[in-house]
Every structure is written in C-alpha cells, then in structure tokens.
Amino acid sequence: MSQRRYFGTDGIRGTVGQSPITPDFMLRLGHAVGRVLRRDAKRPAVLIGKDTRISGYMIESALEAGFASAGVDVLLSGPLPTPGVAYLTRALRLDLGVVISASHNPFNDNGIKFFSASGEKLPDAWELAVEAALDEAPAWADSTSIGKARRVDDASGRYVEFCKSSFAGDLSLKGMKLVVDAAHGAAYHVAPDVFHELGAEVVKIGCAPDGLNINAGVGATAPQALVQAVAAHRADYGIALDGDADRLQIVDAAGRLYNGDELLYVMVADRLLRGEEVPGAVGTLMTNMAVELALRARGVPFVRAKVGDRYVLEELNARGWVLGGEGSGHLLALDKHTTGDGIVSALQVLEAVRRSGKPLAALLDGVELFPQTLINVRIAPGKDWRTSQPLAEAQSAVERELDGRGRVLIRASGTEPVLRVMVEARDAAQARRAAERIAAACG
C-alpha cells in the first residue's frame, strides 16, 4: 500500500460523526497505533492532549481505550497547545505524542495528529504502517498487559515555563501592553500567563471556551477582533493564535496586521543583528516575493517548500537550517522548538522589538509586500492542465512581462477540481490583469 487513505498533510481530520471522526474508528486507530509502537518498545507510553472542542472528550476516551487494549500506557494532559504536547512528549521521554484538534477549523470538525518521541512530526512511512495495521485483525492485550492511564500533573505549567525559557534572559516585556487572543482554543489558560509572567500587561480575548466557540470570530483566522481590541485598549501589540496555538498573527497599535512572511523576516533580521549566522530560510510556494528579495539582499539564501508547515520542516531538516514559515503564521525556529509554536514565535518577534528598541513596523522598513491576485478556475475532473498549450503560452507571456519583478504560481487544489492561479507583482493592477489572462487560458 502506497496511498494514504486516512492521513492528510497534517494528520487525520474531518467532520465529527462522519468517518473517520467517529468513536469506533478512534478506538481502532488507538489500537493500531499501539500495535505499531509495540514493534519497537515492549511497554510504550503516549501522551494525549487536546484543544477545547466538545468532541475532544469522546475522541480522547476512545483513543485511550484503543491504546490500553494494545498494551500501551496513556498520559492525559487535558487541553494543551499542539506544540505543548510535542514538548512534553520529548521532556517526559515518551514514545508518542497525540493531539486531538482540527486546528483553525470550526468546532464541528476534529482530528488527530502525532509527534515522535523527539517531538517531531512523523514521516509518511510511519503513517502507512498505521494504516496497514488498521486493516489487520485486533490483537487485544490480556488482562495482565492492558495499558494504564493517568493525568499529567501541571502539564500547562510545565509548558508555560518552556515557552518563557525561549525568551532572552536579559530582556523582559515590562511596560508593554498586549492583547492576547487564544481563539477560545487550547492556549486559553497558557498564553496569557506566558506573556504576563514575562512582565507584560495582558488583556485577554478569546480565552473563554465553551466547547463550541473555538475559532468563532476570534483568533489568527479572524484577526479583526484583535485589531479592534488593540485599539480599544490602546495596547502596544496584539497576539492572535489559532485553535491549537501553532499559528500566529500580530497586530500593532496602528492596526497593522503582520502575517507569517513578514514575521519570518523579522526573526531572521534579529538573528543577523545579534551577529548570528543564518545559513538560509525556508518559505513555501506562497511566500511573498518581497520577503524573498529582502532576505537575499541581506545575504540569506531562501528556498521554497510545498505549502504546509510539514514540508517547511522537512526542508529545514534536510538543509540543517533553523528558520522557516508560511504566510498563514506557521513559523519554525528549530533552535527553540522542534515544531511550529505560536507562543514561542510571538516571543521571538517581541524579543526582536525589545532588543532593537524599534517598533515592529520599523523592523520591516523597505519590505513592502507585493500585491497578489489569486483566481480559482474550475477544470474538468481528471483534466491534465500541465499539457495545455494555451495555458503554457499564457504563463510564459506573463513571466516575460514580469521580467523577474513578479511571480506566477499555478497549482491544482488537493480537494476539488480547481486550478489555483496566483500572480504576484509590484503593481496590483498588473498582477490582476496577468492572473485574469492566465485564468482565461485554462478553459
């Protein structure tokens, strides 16, 4: 078997109550993962964390039963950010970390993702092994081998201390007023404490989960609530996380919203200011060209990975680099954490602000994002757009016109018969005209 049936680019995800997000599948999944783990460890132990969705209770119970039935011990953290689970899995010397979350999706969705003993996302080969085990008959542990379960004392407190340790010991956030928006998600009881304990005055929004309101009009995917709160409270900055707190958006006092591309540049520039070597940075196919040019102007090589923080991480590991990210706010600083972490990334940006003594906007002087036009074009299912001569000719003509001062990206959607046409140029009208020209040639 070479094609994954359940795992996508970031674990397993779907609508609760529909396959595969059902309690019977989750029991089978826990059992299958447990059997894979037992190939390498006689008595494996796993950590299960979750976000604040009401369905997390059901899924947690089913997974716990599945693991126990395969002879795997289970530790339960309760609500905890995805990167917090990755950290504790490594810190507690466990065999696997399990996160119950659908990240930025609405509450009626949920999902599962896994971390290795070293706190990193697992490779395709491991996921394929789990899917193969799902097809096998169960092998229930006998009564003397059934796994045990227990709660982890102060999981959130341990993670708070880890986040604080990523911030420079000679700096603090004293005198800074921050609005912290946790999207009513997994960081609701963690993120405000981190910034407060580093000295900031913290105003909380999106920190009152009820099981149904995760990502609902708040958080990194709905930053207007943060913009309004920063203005209303006359704060210096606003920090917005998503439901599982691995993605970040920042707003300044003027209401300017900074995306992941800009924040990646700030993180690189701060390392250079400190005299550190930055051998390169990784973005994605969607990273704004202005950031690529700005990094190259500072002597920092830039490489594009496929869209998705998983692929950014793979590229960083392959090259031995530490800084990468994508515009959505997934940022990686591998010398601070093994995975993307919204809180740690925010601290890296605030550290740059504190160290430089300049506002965030000033740290991005000369970096003006190129306008992008994105057009979705429906195509016939199964049509091979790569062999279209009119499309190839239109793309070549636009690229000649841009003459290195812009960029064309054409890629197929992974979920629907749609071709995504993106053109980036210094001039917004030129980007729009060029994208329309290419889209017209897709028919």
Q: Cα 342 from chain centroid? A: 8
Q: In what order do the strands lie in the sheet with 248-252?
A: 201-205, 177-181, 237-241, 248-252, 257-258
Count of beta carbons in the 10 Å neighbourhood of residue 129 = 18
The residue assigned the tokens 């995504």 is 420
Take residue 11 and report the two structure tokens written for it.
């674990």
Take residue 224 and report the two structure tokens written for it.
């207007």
Contact 314, 330 (CB under 8 A): no
Contact 17, 315 (CB under 8 A): no
Q: What are phi and psi of 184, to 5 degrees?
A: 55, 30
Contact 251, 264 (CB under 8 A): no
Q: What are phi and psi of 237, to 5 degrees?
A: -150, 160
The residue assigned the tokens 């999944």 is 29
What gap in Å lies between CA 385 and CA 134, rounded to an integer? Answer: 35
What gap in Å lies between CA 437 and CA 126, rounded to an integer? Answer: 43
Contact 72, 101 (CB under 8 A): no
Helices (H), 234-369: 260-273, 289-297, 309-319, 342-356, 360-363
What gap in Å lies between CA 350 and CA 344, rounded to an integer? Answer: 10
**Does the active-site annotation cover 69?**
no
With CA atoms as reference, report the closest residue to 408 among 377, 439, 379: 439
Question: Which residues partner with 409 through β-bridges?
Answer: 422
Q: Name the catalytic one among 55, 103, 328, 345.
A: 103
Q: What are phi and psi of 152, to 5 degrees?
A: -90, 120
| Alpha-carbon dihedral angle through residues 293, 297, 303, 308, given to the nearest 10 degrees | -50
> Mind telling me the catalytic residues?
103
